[in-house]
Amino acid sequence: MYYLHLAKILDNVNDLLNSSKNILIIVSKPIDPDCIGTALSLSWLLNKKNKSVDIISFTKIPPEMTSFPGIDTVTYTKLKIPNFQSYNTIILVDGCDWTQFFGDELEKVLAAIDKKKIINLDHHMPGDILKAIPETCLNAMTSSTAQLFFELFIEPSKIKITPQIAEYLYLALLYDSGNFKYELYPGQYCFADKLIAAGADHAKAMDINYDKKEIDFMVWAVEHTEFLPEYKLSLLTINKELTLELQKLFGKNWSDFDKFYKETIERQIKGYNYGIILMDNMDGSIRVGWRTRNYGNTISIADLACRSGFKAGGHRNAGGGKFEGTIEDAREHLLREFKKALNKS
């Protein structure tokens, strides 16, 4: 079984949960159906075991997530640091690095928190949380954190999930599997089958509509995308000037509308196995996001980005990272490493 290496860690986590009465769940950034669906399901299970649970986010709920069922039970906390001392356990859901949870509050939070209280549930490439709390970090490469949670906690509990919980988990699975288009992980179809049997409505979950701003953003993005056949790469570079243009067109939260572009253009164009967005954060740092074709002998952009000077993570075929410097340097370093990697492959 693919969780055997986590047996001792799971024992540690269960010991901590069993001895806890008050529990805080913190969801990761970017907020998506996996972190929210898993957090809501985890809260439900812990309530069943007579635990008191709060769910918070240090990131504002994005517009596309406001219709997610149960989202109103997630509290957005801006600047105010919770009283961590009032909780016996703190669970970080669906993220591998501290910054995904605490962002700009990172130093304040870590100074106010006892790391021995922390549990991490995640399915991405391991990051700095695993290094800091290896004894209570449950990290495994699965389709979603929802699948990891279901198989390690719900199934062993023998507690029957409700159709609502099945819906939370199914939406999480669909999102992180790209409606079953992304890379395949052991057990994910069995997981889906169990959720449908428990009441998840596949047709309802697949009834996806896009905000018109997502369509408008895609039109803008396609017009600004470079297609580099020598690298099999589509590259969208959004510098300071273009960032300001996007803010005028779509507001300061314009990056909330890039999903349709990512799903339609990146790795979807014949002959272009890789899609990258480089974005100037306007604070001296550059953000990168990528998608890689799931089939064939493709290179790892995560590894390539790290060699280019980015702090990067996520999945092999989809992830992101941050670069300290100019967008010109970030682009140059990435393309240089791309060339090296392609010549070796």
- 195, 260: one domain: no
**Whether residue 45 is found in the same domain as residue 167:** yes
- 66 and 136 housed in the same domain: yes
Question: Angle at Cα 177 formed by Cα 174 and Cα 179, nearest 5°?
Answer: 50
Are 130 and 198 found together in one domain? yes
Q: What share of the chain is helix, strand, coil (3-state, %, to 5)?
A: 50, 20, 35
Residue 259: other Cβ atoms inside 10 A: 17
Give 179's contacts (C-beta < 8 A, 6+ positions apart): 206
Q: How far apart are CA 229 and CA 315, in angstroms?
A: 24
CATH of the domain at 28: 3.90.1640.10
Residues 99 and 248 in one domain: no
Mark which of 205, 222, 250 sits at the end of a domain.
Answer: 205
Q: Considering 184, 205, 226, which residue would you say is the last residue of a domain?
A: 205
Beta 74-76 vs 52-57: how paired, if at all? parallel
Amino acid 49: pLDDT: 96
CA distance 168 to 199: 11
Tens digit of pLDDT per residue, the chain (345 long)?
567 689 999 999 999 999 999 999 999 998 999 999 999 999 999 999 999 999 999 988 988 899 999 999 999 987 677 888 999 999 999 999 998 998 877 888 888 889 999 999 999 989 999 999 999 999 998 999 999 999 999 999 999 999 999 999 999 999 999 899 888 899 999 999 999 999 999 999 998 778 899 999 999 999 999 999 999 999 999 999 999 999 999 998 888 888 889 988 998 899 999 999 999 988 889 999 999 998 888 999 989 999 999 988 888 888 888 999 999 999 999 999 999 998 876
One-letter amino acid for residue 156 of the chain: P
* Domain limit, last residue, from 205, 223, 254: 205
Whether residue 273 sits in one domain with residue 181: no
Strand order in the sheet with 285-292: 225-228, 233-238, 274-280, 285-292, 318-324, 311-314
- The pLDDT, as a whole number, for residue 2 is 66
Site of tokens 């047996």: 7
In terms of domains, do 25 and 145 share one?
yes
Same domain for 198 and 156, yes or no, is yes
Query: Do 15 and 83 fall within a single domain?
Result: yes
**Same domain flag for 279 and 162:** no
C-alpha to C-alpha distance for 76 and 239, rounded to whole angstroms: 30
Do 194 and 216 lie in a common domain? no
Range of the domain at 111: 4-205
The domain that contains 264 carries what CATH number?
3.10.310.30
Residues 322 and 251 in one domain: yes
Gap between the Cα atoms of 294 and 119, Å rounded: 31
Q: Given this model, what pLDDT does residue 79 score?
A: 60
Q: What is the pTM of this model?
A: 0.84
Number of domains in the chain: 2
Give the model's pLDDT for residue 315: 80
